[in-house]
Amino acid sequence: MNSGFVIVHAGAGLYSERREHLAKDACAKACMQAKLELCRTSDSIAAAIAAVKVLEDSPVCNAGTGSNLTVNGEVECEAGLMESHTGMAASVGACRNYKYPSEICSRILSKRKLPKSHGRIPPLMIVSHGVSEFLKEEGIPTNTNEELRTDGSRKQYEKWKQLVEDDGRIPSSQDTVGAICIDPAGEFCVCCSSGGILLKSSGRIGSSAIPGHGFWLERELNEMGASTFATCMTGTGEHISNTNFAIRCSNVMLHTEDEIQDLERLIRDFWDHPMSKYIPNLSLGFIFAKMETMPESKRPRLTFGFANSSPSMAIGYMKTTSKKPHVLITRNQNKPHTISVVSTRL
């Protein structure tokens, strides 16, 4: 391989002109940070975490600092990651006192790779007060919950809490952020992070913390070579989990002969699922990347893209050989969904 690759998203939500500029800027910075990490370390895990941390810091994103607040007015964020070398995943949920839940996932993953005494198995997921204990064990300085709240998240909370109390209107802010990175050795890492649904119940664990639901990565080996696929989701977490969407997407896209047709079918099935009638403001968005290596070719084939059935979605992507990322905001308007697929060589 001659280069690495990164694709990121800042969520499938509603973007005004001001928010569009901020979201595109966040995606561009996340791509550039991942590129720098790939060029410096050739490590897809480090690159994916670097990209997502940029998005967790952005005031326009529902992740890390500025996350949506719970019904009690507090931050409880979550994240998950998975890497191709071992096929391991790690996740964190109901994180109340650290602004980079994605980084905690990286630490959990590292612990999973170390042998434990007496046959104890290190956890894949840590939640709630267990996160605080883990941070203390790792010697990581924590944040107060107040530090994770912003003026914007407080205003959103107060506005929607009053609307819900007045007329039962349902809040629509439920973005998640994510990144997929491929290093020069062809190893993948997918990482996502989310503040969850606005006014969610305390203790709620969303799809971003559950492998196979909000994120997934899979590699298949055969006589023709190897195929690796990764994806991460944004949208209505409960429905994404109920449909096991990430793993379903992987099962289809690893063997597809028509990406557009199969992506349309996946989105249609998501909306036609019996549970969908119980969920207001249903939305879905995702990014994906698939790499195919064959013995006769020195340069693997990369197919990547995004799809969303929400009003809009912020995306950025680039190769490490590129000078700057390509960033965009999809606008569905009168269309049921947007799908984009690109094929290239790495």
Find the catalytic residue in 70, 176, 231, 236.
Answer: 176
Euclidean distance between the first and final Cα of the chain, in Å? 6
Per the DSSP assignment, residues forming a β-bridge with 330 are 313
- Which residues are CB-contacts of 202 (< 8 A; sequence separation ≥ 6)? 70, 71, 72, 74, 76, 94
Buried b (16+ CB within 10 A) or exposed e, 32-66: bbbbebbeeeebbbbbbbbbbbbbbbbebbbbbbb
Q: Verify whether residue 176 is a known catalytic residue.
A: yes
Angle at 308 between CA 306 and CA 312, to 5 degrees: 110
Nearest to 40 by CA among 345, 320, 323: 320
Paired tokens of 318:
């680039």
Q: Which amino acid is at 40?
A: R
Element (H, E) at 62: none
Q: Return the DSSP state at 261.
A: H
User: Length of the chain, please?
Assistant: 346
Residues 304 and 5 sit within 8 Å (Cβ to Cβ)? yes
Radius of gyration (C-alpha) of the chain in whole angstroms: 19
Buried b (16+ CB within 10 A) or exposed e, 193-232: bbbbbbbbeeebbbbbbbbbbbbbbbbeeeeeeebbbbbb
Nearest to 10 by CA among 286, 315, 341, 305: 315
DSSP 3-state of 155 = helix
Catalytically active residues, by annotation: 176
